[in-house]
Amino acid sequence: MPSPTRLVLPFYLFACLLALLGLGGFWYGLGKPVHLPDAASATHKLQCASYTPFDKDQSPFDQPFKLRPARMDADLALLAERFQCIRTYSMTGLEAIPAIARKHGLKVMLGAWVNANPEDTDKEVDALIAAANANPDVVTAVIVGNETLLRKEITGERLAELIRRVKGQVQVPVTYADVWEFWLEHPQIAPAVDFLTIHLLPYWEDDPSGIDDALAHVAEVREVFGKRFAPKDILIGETGWPSEGRQRETAEPSRVNEARFVRGFVALAESHGWRYNLIEAFDQPWKRASEGAVGGYWGLFDADRQDKGVLEGPVSNLPLWPQWWLASVILFAAALMLGGRVTDRRAALLLPLLAALGAACLGSWGELMRTNARFPGEWLWAVLLTGLNLLVLIHGVLALSARTGWRERLFAWLEARAGWLLLAAGFVAAVSMLAMVFDPRYRSFPTAALVLPGLVYLARPVAGPRAEIGLLAFIVGLGIVPQLVREGLSNPQAWSWAVVCVVMVAALWRGLRVRVA
């Protein structure tokens, strides 16, 4: 442990205590359990859940396409404890689903994947018809296509023809599933089906609904459809909320918000006698490739089939908060050890606070990347930004300490390269800002990665390549207002990013004003 002089020891100990309390409060605030009314239990089974049978290392785009029967059996055994039925989306590889569902006492809404390839579609439809007719005790309805009109893969006329073809060959009700607006845009579909299957996902709406307004929006759309298409029944075929990912306007993904939405929706649906299907049974990491990080986190269970606390019991936004707190304390202590002696009161106060800030930022960035990084390139980006933050933290800590020996040599090495560290942080801010202005839909805000460089080099400006730093400051500053407008002024994540970018612009501007000796 460092040995500050006696004159500054009280300030140093006070700052250390304050920093440790701050770290504990920070992580507990993120992870504290929230208690909500339960939605399901062993004696109260819910209606239906969407099921796709992939492990976390699998994807429907894998070649060759091979599912694991043991996984499907274990999955349905688990779902049978909480649900009466499952909904599937394709016949390919899922031929055994009706038999496995029968084994575990589940019903099935069987789906055929309809796309722009007529041969693939015909194979799916033929398999759907055969499975429905072979398993009348298990299959309660068949779904001819999922969001095919949304993807613009076939016309409404072609889809209606497929639906009539299936209706003529099965004995169970036939439907089609799509986002609710597409039922209104394609009026020829409703007369062809036995009941309408509508998707209501407030997070993904063109005008997203925050968690406080989401259930009211669902109820409003359900009421409109119930009246407009009477006497045909309405199935809410997909509804849910993501537990991780970027915020869209007021719609914030989190485990607590997922639990609030699902539990509230179940109570609302059951009080009104609505038919419903929740999306989805298990987190599907493969969806992150096409939908951003948020796409992989709609499950009631995670990809390891562990309960996320969505349906019953206390729920936490960050169940791993004790581990992150411990890791932060270790990094905090390491930073203090690196700093060594402090000889004045200002340094005695600031060094522990800087160490705690660095530990919190690096932990937050690590958690964000753990849940949000999708591709090797994103993981490389995460590692490089982690390295940048560590160098900035070391530089800042040594700047506040009484340096001798190897600490002085390390500080001199970093001091000579501080302008390049500032330039690197500015480059990250500029690239991220361009992405958030021009292509933000599936991107997460990299706020945590820039808090530390921004504050350190704002408080202690360093000189760097003037032309490059000026250009980066211009790009970051120019994008602040457009990204806020694009994200919506009620988006706290966008405001946090804007504030950090203001700090980065100020740090870059101060760097321009430092004269090189």
70 shares a domain with 115? yes
- Weakest mean pLDDT among 4-18, 35-49, 96-110, 311-325: 4-18
Would residue 165 count as lying in a domain?
yes
- Residue 435 pLDDT more than 90? yes
Residue 10: predicted pLDDT: 87
> Do 504 and 425 form a contact (C-beta atoms < 8 A)?
yes
What's phi and psi for 223, nearest 5 deg?
-65, -45
Would residue 84 count as lying in a domain?
yes
134 shares a domain with 102? yes
175 shares a domain with 142? yes
In tens, the pLDDT along 212-255 reads 999 999 999 999 999 999 999 999 999 999 999 999 999 999 99
470 shares a domain with 341? yes
Tally Cβ neighbours within 10 Å of residue 26: 20
239 shares a domain with 337? no
- Residue 284 pLDDT more than 60? yes
457 shares a domain with 327? yes
Which residues are within 8 A (CB) of 46 and not within 5 positions of it... i.e. 6 or more apart?
39, 40, 82, 83, 84, 266, 278, 311
60 or 165: which leads in pLDDT: 165
Question: Which of the listed residues 237, 262, 296 is the one where a domain comes to its end?
Answer: 296
- pTM, 2 dp: 0.93
In tens, the pLDDT along 288-345 reads 988 989 999 999 999 999 999 999 999 999 999 999 999 999 999 999 999 998 888 9
Residue 56: predicted pLDDT: 87
Average pLDDT rounded to a whole number, residues 84-88: 98
- Residue 356 pLDDT more than 50? yes
Would residue 222 count as lying in a domain?
yes
Residue 1: predicted pLDDT: 46
Strands annotated E in 65-217: 83-87, 107-112, 139-146, 174-179, 196-199
Residues in the chain: 517
Average pLDDT rounded to a whole number, residues 76-105: 96
Which residue range(s) make up the domain with 27? 9-31+319-513
Coil vs helix vs strand at 479:
helix
169 shares a domain with 52? yes
Would residue 239 count as lying in a domain?
yes
- Cα–Cα distance for residue pair 474/467, rounded to 1 Å: 11
Would residue 100 count as lying in a domain?
yes
50 shares a domain with 15? no
In tens, the pLDDT along 361-416 reads 999 999 999 988 888 888 999 999 999 999 999 999 999 998 999 999 999 999 99
Number of domains present in the structure of the chain: 2
Question: Which of the listed residues 261, 296, 331 is the one where a domain comes to its end?
Answer: 296
290 shares a domain with 437? no
- Residue 169 pLDDT more than 60? yes
410 shares a domain with 281? no
- Residue 7 pLDDT more than 80? no
Residue 3: predicted pLDDT: 47
Residue 5: predicted pLDDT: 57
> Do 248 and 241 form a contact (C-beta atoms < 8 A)?
no
283 shares a domain with 378? no
Would residue 305 count as lying in a domain?
no
Q: Which of 511, 442, 514, 450 is nearest to 480 (CA)?
A: 450
Above pLDDT 70, what percent of the chain? 98
Question: Which of the listed residues 296, 330, 345 is the one where a domain comes to its end?
Answer: 296
Q: CATH number of the domain at 92, please.
A: 3.20.20.80
Would residue 417 count as lying in a domain?
yes
- Weakest mean pLDDT among 1-5, 68-72, 90-94: 1-5
In tens, the pLDDT along 107-132 reads 999 999 999 999 999 999 999 999 99
Would residue 38 count as lying in a domain?
no
Coil vs helix vs strand at 50:
strand
129-137 contact pairs (CB < 8 A, 24+): 129/166, 129/169, 129/170, 131/91, 131/95, 131/98, 132/170, 132/171, 132/172, 133/169, 133/170, 133/171, 134/98, 135/98, 135/99, 135/102, 135/108, 136/171, 136/172, 137/102
279 shares a domain with 209? yes
